[in-house]
Amino acid sequence: MVNAAVEKNKDYIIKIDNLGYEGEGVGRINNFTVFVPGALPGEEAEIKIVKVNKNFAFGKLNKIIKQSSDRTEPMCTLKRCGGCQLMHLSYEAQLKFKKQRVIDSIERIAKLKDVIIYDTIGMENPYRYRNKAQFPISVQNGKPVAGFYAPRSHEIIDTLSCLIQDEVSDKVMDIIKKWAFYNDISIYDEAAGKGLLRHIMVRKALRTGEVMVAVIINGYDIPHKDKLIAMLKEQVESLKSVVLNINREVTNVVLGQETKVLYGSPTITDYIGDLKFNISPLSFFQVNPIQTEVLYSKALEYANLTGEETVIDAYCGTGTISLFLARKAKKVYGVEIVEPAIENAKKNARENNISNVEFIVGKSEEVIPELYKQGIKADVIVVDPPRKGCDEALLKTIAAMAPKTVVYVSCDPGTLARDLKYLEENGFKVKEIQPVDMFPVTSHVETVVCLSRKNPDDRIEIDLSLDELDITTAESKATYEEIKDYVLKNHSMKVSSLYISQVKRKLGLEIGTSYNLPKSEDARVPQCPLNKEKAITEALNHFSMI
């Protein structure tokens, strides 16, 4: 039953108290939470309720009655683009908001109260900072359009110019849209799964100026490619690479695993500090090179290397942090699941004449426990995980290795706080936290954390056998999202994380600490239906988890 505190399509006056994690204004009407994109704390506004859920609602901003002193006129004219969330907020206030995001997560999730959290390090110019742009493409009114998705939809907002991307991205988008239109190139239809041209990706190296253009297609080749290459060569300065990326899967993942070079080199070259990096279409490379140097310099400072340490760099990508650390360490092991990224990392090490680093392909939660079994113990462990945070098997291994220092680089305050809570409870102390504004005018924040091993008298012993590491690793072969995707694809059913955890528990599998259990035995929890239990069991078997 929908809460009657607010009604859909009805207008209300609301006072905004704070900002949500996605940068939307948050207020209350009749003690009922309402999210209002575009509204700021301290403002009084007239809104229209557009969606009502059980515990909260969304409102559309009609007009501002009382304006915040932190409000600024957005430089971008696109009102519905989903690329930025905070262009209407002054940059000084953005930096304060991002620090508060980190504080809230650390206090609420990690339950840590006395941690040093510094002010967010911002940029001198918070625009045109991205070295990578990727845009979906579709057809509107008979013409190709490319840009960001509108918030909470799959409608593409045609973007002629994006103020957080390098200007070359605007030019490349325009060229490809014109090429597609005048040469009758079919555009991918997401709903039907048909059509050829899916996405456009552009990468530009800040220091060298080299440009890579990737055309992502639902096929194996494109017609009139010579015309496209000629247009790009004529109009794009410092064009180094044009590649075709094959993605024939029905998925929202942008890039496929197969890439063909149409023109030039398979990689472009850029620098962070004095280190040289070769970047492929599939490589992970931080999108803000200016702030990347700030971020990695802070990670190096926290590692506090003397030249005698063994370091493990989990989720190492193309080896950027690994190579930063290697010049100050005795030995560095970099672990990354994306094989082309590891190939680039090895090439980057050779390019920079660094020989004391070893790169390994595989999941960090599987490779690092194996290193531990082989007797390799790190003095410093650096983790830079994806948004979902560290796998529990990796956290257990870190606790068992007991390095003197852990440096955690995070792109999500929530999963960061969850993992810090585990590490604090298992032998480590959070010393300090430094937020870095890698993505100005968006709600995202990057964070670097320094943890040290507690004094021997304070340490919590970890009862962790090598057999347990093997079990944990086996049970970590598929994430909850991968299991959900398998069930949806093969059985056309959606299953919740709760149902997956119930089935895993029933089969005697470890479910981890990040999924909620009922607070009491009497709690009323929906039970997984038999048909969904069978589908989940099939998925677990498919991923060799049972």
Domain 11-71 fold? OB fold (Dihydrolipoamide Acetyltransferase, E2P) (2.40.50)
pLDDT confidence band for 515 (50 / 70 / 90): very low
Region 417-432 average pLDDT: 97
Residue with tokens 């954390």: 449
Q: What pLDDT does 474 receive?
A: 34
Does position 40 have pLDDT exceeding 50, yes or no?
yes
Contact by Cβ (8 Å): 281, 255: yes
Q: What pLDDT does 459 receive?
A: 44
Does position 2 have pLDDT exceeding 70, yes or no?
no
- Domain positions in the chain are 11-71, 132-272, 288-470, 478-542
Binding-site annotation: residue ranges for S-adenosyl-L-methionine: 286, 315, 336, 384
Region 140-146 average pLDDT: 93
Lowest mean pLDDT among 82-91, 362-371, 491-500: 491-500
19 compared with 467, residue with greater pLDDT: 19
Contact by Cβ (8 Å): 379, 407: no
Distance (Å) of CA 65 to CA 31, 62, 77, 87: 20, 10, 22, 20
Global pTM reads: 0.77
Q: What percent of the chain has pLDDT over 90?
A: 69
pLDDT confidence band for 63 (50 / 70 / 90): very high
Average pLDDT, the chain: 88
DSSP 76: -
Distance (Å) of CA 290 to CA 127, 207, 303, 359: 12, 10, 21, 25
341 class by beta-carbon count within 10 Å (0-12 exposed, 13-18 middle, 19+ buried): buried
Pick the CATH number of 132-272 from 3.75.10.10, 2.40.50.1070, 2.60.40.3880, 3.40.640.10: 2.40.50.1070
Region 347-356 average pLDDT: 95
Binding-site annotation: residue ranges: 286, 315, 336, 384
Q: What percent of the chain has pLDDT over 70?
A: 89
Region 261-281 average pLDDT: 92
Beta strands in 53-196 (DSSP E): 56-66, 116-117, 132-140, 143-149, 156-158
β-pair type (11-19, 428-436): unpaired
Q: What pLDDT does 308 receive?
A: 97
Region 326-338 average pLDDT: 95
Encoded amino acid at 168, one letter: V
Read off the tokens for 32.
Answer: 């009922």
* pLDDT per residue as tens digits for the range 97-126: 999 999 999 999 999 988 999 999 999 999
Q: What is the DSSP string of 501-537?
A: HHHHHHTT----SSS---SSTT---PPPPHHHHHHHH
Q: Which one of the listed residues 84, 411, 450, 528 is annotated catalytic?
A: 411
Q: What pLDDT does 511 receive?
A: 54
Q: What pLDDT does 522 receive?
A: 36
Highest mean pLDDT among 97-111, 334-348, 502-516: 97-111
Q: What pLDDT does 546 receive?
A: 60
Lowest mean pLDDT among 287-291, 510-514, 528-532: 510-514
Residue 411 bears catalytic tag:
yes
288 compared with 517, residue with greater pLDDT: 288
Is the fold of 11-71 the same as that of 288-470? no
**CATH top-level class of 288-470:** alpha beta
